[in-house]
Structure 1
Amino acid sequence: MGNGGGDGEAREPLVQKKLAEKEEQLWMGYLSTFVAVCGSFAFGSCAGYSSPAQAAIREDLSLSLAEFSLFGSLLTFGAMIGAIMCGPIADLVGRKGAMRVSSAFCVVGWLAIFFAKGPVALDIGRLATGYGMGAFSYVVPIFIAEIAPKTFRGALTTLNQILICTGVSVAFIIGTVLTWRVLALTGIIPCAISFIGLFCIPESPRWLAKMGRHTEFEAALKSLRGKNADISHEAAEIQEYIETLERLPKAKMLDLFQRRYQRSVLIGFGLMVVQQFGGINGICFYASSIFEQAGFPATTGTIIYAVLQVVITALNAPIVDRAGRKPLLLVSLTGVVIGCLLIAVSFYLKVHGMAPDAVPILAVVGILGYIGSFSAGLGAMPWVVMSEIFPINIKGVAGGMATLVNWFGAWAVSYTFNFLMSWNSFGTFIIYAAINVLGIVFVITIVPETKGKTLEQIQAAVNG
């Protein structure tokens, strides 16, 4: 009995030592993820800019509502261009090269906005930041999924969404005290950190293997897994999978319609449609005006909104690889539907002059419930699943097209939101609720669970 206790005491420091060694080995993976998600923060800065800056830009540059709506929606139009071009760029010059291009476009765009004296320069800047944002939205989750160990892949990929939310929230909060020109300059900071940091981290091992750069592939994998890690099994699995793909012809756009890829394309594209057409960018871009229309202080509402989405998304990250992708999507979509219905009821009561005291309360609870629920799964999971679901030979084409679908949805919602609200404020949110109900049906019937599987196992199961 005594020896058993001694063994237990001896075993505990040994376990702690092994855990410490494992953490030490993975430090390059964590650093690489940090550098990549600086691009996600830059993305969030772009998305969060228009809401706090709207009133000041319209006043300083004498913009009409239509001109500002064009400015707001050009971000998502630029993101569509970035999404189309980033897949081939990431395949040609690597994931790091694509992130450098994205950073450069964002910096140029922010400077154009800062120096703008009229709508033309403002719109050009917005288009350029949109391009960088769209490219980041594709390449960051792909890069993280390709460098992460399978046991941490969901959590690390979710950091992409956490930093997007953080970027949006920081822009919302500091936008209440900074001028719109200074706020534009703050968007350059994460781009600069990302650009410099990319010189300190390895390229994606899977991309290096695909390009036939075997020495660099092994060095990058060794760097990411730790100098004492045994990478032989993982390296052999990656090489074997890529050699199988090498025997297939180079992917073209029409290849996405082949029977063997139909399910992965349907899942990847379908989740992007569900995420965007449920109304997120209408609420995100015009949160301040929604709070004002509902009779709630815009600054207070925006700050609560900003803090809530970061907290919920951050709390969600540790459970992605335990709870699974599918349950989180279903819980998230259910909450989003309830949030939409509460906002719809609020505007219905306002339009018909009923229960005036309840209108702002229902609107705030609905908006915060919507954004909290969205952040709990629907924000991150489509990107996590997209980064996992496509075989590497079509990942550039399919990932770029899925991101394009996402940004087309973002553009459509952000451009039409103000017009829909003018048409019928409560009807707008009923439409969004109905789309999210269809999303629940889609996830239940089509989307597989991918937690705890290697990328190769997932793709074999879905496309096999």
Structure 2
Amino acid sequence: MSFREENEDARDLRKPFLHTGSWYRMSSRQSSMMDKLGSSAMVIRDNSVSVLVCVLIVALGPIQFGFTGGYSSPTQAQIISDLGLTTSEFSIFGSLSNVGAMVGAIASGQIAEYIGRKGSLMIAAIPNIIGWLAISFAHDSSFLNMGRLLEGFGVGVISYTVPVYIAEIAPQNMRGGLGSVNQLSCTIGILLAYVLGLFVNWRILAILGILPCTILIPALFFIPESPRWLAKMGMMEDFEASLQVLRGFDTDISTEVNEIKRSVASSSRATTIRFSDMKRRRYWYPLMIGIGLLVLQQACGINGVLFYSTTIFETAGISSGNVATCGLGAIQVIATGVATWLGDKTGRRLLLMISSCGMTASLFLVSVSFYLKNIFSEDSHLYSIMAILSLVGIVTFVISFSLGIGPIPWIIVSEIMPVNIKSLGGSTATLFNWLTSFVVTMTANILLNWSSGGTFTIYTVLSAFTIVFVALWVPETKGKTLEEIQLSFR
């Protein structure tokens, strides 16, 4: 069966996910074009507003992602007390979302390729909802862990699909800023979990975790599918209609249409990628960059700091760890917002360099302050100074992470993967990201109990390696179309 025939046979199965809608009166030609997309297509005359609305809707997915990550910090003491768990058992609970996310990451590429970006987000929302319900009604660790695994699966699919969708719909001059919305939404989700955790118990907090996905599912019916995915699937009329919706009916899209068609035609001549093909630079180089960036993003220990920030602050001598954690979450949101603004102004590579240098310096400060704090008695003035320095270091670390290493790797991975290995390469890089996150989350509590200073020393060394990796390997992608970026690897 040919590539085209396979797409025709599968189209009927994809139709529920392709519908996209209409918001203003159109000419007969425009109306005919929108009929290609179905009766629920959304149209806005201002192209920047149209893309922004689409991004804000899919951003509900990363909010869910962040809420899952932030949930374990304010609820640790309550869950351990109510269910009689040990610290190790809670560490397993906290890290199981990463295990589920690894499975989700493996499946995400194929799901997103077969039923589209919108369809995969709808599928991801369902296990998230079921998972939160399982946690909220849990009376032992089995239901608790099952819910965490289900959440993780949904988050794994979301973490791959949302950056890809945003990159594929955004104009090249807005792609950096809009791509950073993914990480910004994630930090908002973390902050929501921290703040709400101050006022409600862990069961109610789990119920509140359902809200982003319950809003996301119906909202997806009012945005267009990714034009590049439609083109790859051979749905050329739907592809042009979707792109026209996103760019506005007053915009000439002929140049962009031709670029995308050329890219798709080139990739479709080599649809099946063999292992031997991965030796070619156009494939192994972007895959290596994607895996390296997403591994190093987690290896610096960010999830260990965020998941167990309350414990870390209490170890540093801060009496109200939960309140300090909320402050940290707010700082992270602000810093990521700044990165969103800077993404298309300063360039990806420069932000990565500044971010990794700041992280290395701040982690070194935290590790030294924890080492020195153990030398002094708790009543001494120097002990208090070391506690303040460790707090300053942690805050600086989170700010530095949020300015570059947090949002930028997801943007770059969604930009650099060639069309015909996007699902394989993107899901593989996402899998490695979640595998590293699992290791960090699983070991963070244990390492902190062993030695706080030693833990942050390990994170410092790994963060320093990020500087070297970015300097030697990562290219600048600012201001280029996706097709230009992928062509450069040839």
Q: Please give the range of the TM-score, normalised by the shorter of the 2 chains.
A: over 0.9
User: Aligned pair 1:34/2:23, yes or no?
Assistant: no
SS at match of 1:378: coil
The CA distance in 2 between the partners of 1:210 and 1:251, in whole Å, is 15
The CA distance in 2 between the partners of 1:115 and 1:300, in whole Å, is 27
Pick one of 336, 349, 354 that aligns with 1:326. 349
Residue type of the alignment partner of 1:386: V
Residue type of the alignment partner of 1:132: G
User: Aligned pair 1:376/2:379, yes or no?
Assistant: no
SS at match of 1:57: helix
Pick one of 235, 257, 261 that aligns with 1:213. 235
Pick one of 243, 259, 262 that aligns with 2:284. 262
SS at match of 2:173: coil
Aligned residue in 2 for 1:396: 423
Residue type of the alignment partner of 1:180: W
Residue type of the alignment partner of 1:278: C
The CA distance in 2 between the partners of 1:362 and 1:177, in whole Å, is 29
User: Aligned pair 1:58/2:58, yes or no?
Assistant: no
Aligned pairs, number: 442
Residue type of the alignment partner of 1:298: G
Contact 1:39 1:99 in 2 (8 A): yes
Aligned residue in 2 for 1:314: 337
User: Aligned pair 1:358/2:385, yes or no?
Assistant: yes
Going from structure 1 to structure 2, the CA distance change for 1:413 and 1:353 (only over 3 Å counts) comes to: same
Contact 2:51 2:170 in 1 (8 A): yes
The CA distance in 2 between the partners of 1:101 and 1:308, in whole Å, is 32
Contact 1:301 1:364 in 2 (8 A): no
The CA distance in 2 between the partners of 1:249 and 1:225, in whole Å, is 29
Q: What pairs with 1:388-427 in structure 2 (closer than 5 Å)?
A: 388-427=415-454
Contact 1:252 1:397 in 2 (8 A): no
Shift in Å, 1:184: 0.7
Shift in Å, 1:35: 1.1
Pick one of 230, 237, 246 that aligns with 1:224. 246
TM-score scaled to structure 1, two decimals? 0.93
The CA distance in 2 between the partners of 1:285 and 1:251, in whole Å, is 39
The CA distance in 1 between the partners of 2:251 and 2:88, in whole Å, is 58
SS at match of 2:59: helix
Residue type of the alignment partner of 1:453: K
SS at match of 1:150: coil
Pick one of 138, 145, 153 that aligns with 1:123. 145
Q: Deviations over 1:117-152 (max 9, x none)?
A: 110000000001111111111000000000000010
By percentage of residues, which structure has more helix? 1
Going from structure 1 to structure 2, the CA distance change for 1:363 and 1:154 (only over 3 Å counts) comes to: same
The CA distance in 1 between the partners of 2:333 and 2:199, in whole Å, is 20
Q: Deviations over 1:390-433 (max 9, x none)?
A: 01110000000000010001000000112222222211111111
Q: What pairs with 1:6-405 in structure 2 (closer than 5 Å)?
A: 24-251=46-273, 255-296=277-318, 297-353=320-376, 355-405=382-432
Contact 2:358 2:396 in 1 (8 A): yes
Question: Which of 242-251 and 149-158 deviates more?
Answer: 242-251
Shift in Å, 1:249: 3.3
SS at match of 2:120: helix
Question: Which of 45-54 and 311-320 deviates more?
Answer: 311-320
Shift in Å, 1:439: 0.6
Q: Deviations over 1:47-86 (max 9, x none)?
A: 1100001110111111111110100010111111111100
SS at match of 1:449: coil
Shift in Å, 1:339: 1.5
SS at match of 1:363: helix
Going from structure 1 to structure 2, the CA distance change for 1:256 and 1:133 (only over 3 Å counts) comes to: farther
The CA distance in 2 between the partners of 1:435 and 1:43, in whole Å, is 24
Residue type of the alignment partner of 1:97: G
The CA distance in 1 between the partners of 2:465 and 2:47, in whole Å, is 44
Shift in Å, 1:252: 5.7
The CA distance in 1 between the partners of 2:352 and 2:173, in whole Å, is 19
Q: Deviations over 1:295-347 (max 9, x none)?
A: 11202311210110001111221111110001100111111111211211221
The CA distance in 1 between the partners of 2:140 and 2:443, in whole Å, is 24
The CA distance in 2 between the partners of 1:259 and 1:456, in whole Å, is 16
Contact 1:106 1:133 in 2 (8 A): yes
The CA distance in 1 between the partners of 2:281 and 2:485, in whole Å, is 17
Residue type of the alignment partner of 1:282: G
Unaligned ranges ≥5, structure 2: 1-43
Q: Deviations over 1:29-57 (max 9, x none)?
A: 11111111110111011011000011101
Q: Deviations over 1:73-107 (max 9, x none)?
A: 10111111111100010001100011011111110
Residue type of the alignment partner of 1:438: F
Residue type of the alignment partner of 2:80: R
Going from structure 1 to structure 2, the CA distance change for 1:80 and 1:257 (only over 3 Å counts) comes to: farther
Contact 2:45 2:250 in 1 (8 A): no
Residue type of the alignment partner of 2:376: G
Shift in Å, 1:260: 3.0
Contact 1:340 1:430 in 2 (8 A): yes
The CA distance in 1 between the partners of 2:274 and 2:315, in whole Å, is 47
Residue type of the alignment partner of 2:357: T
Unaligned ranges ≥5, structure 1: 1-21
Q: Deviations over 1:164-198 (max 9, x none)?
A: 00000111111111110111111111111111111
Contact 2:45 2:248 in 1 (8 A): no
Going from structure 1 to structure 2, the CA distance change for 1:254 and 1:115 (only over 3 Å counts) comes to: farther
Shift in Å, 1:353: 2.1
SS at match of 1:166: helix
Contact 1:109 1:126 in 2 (8 A): yes
TM-score scaled to structure 2, two decimals? 0.88
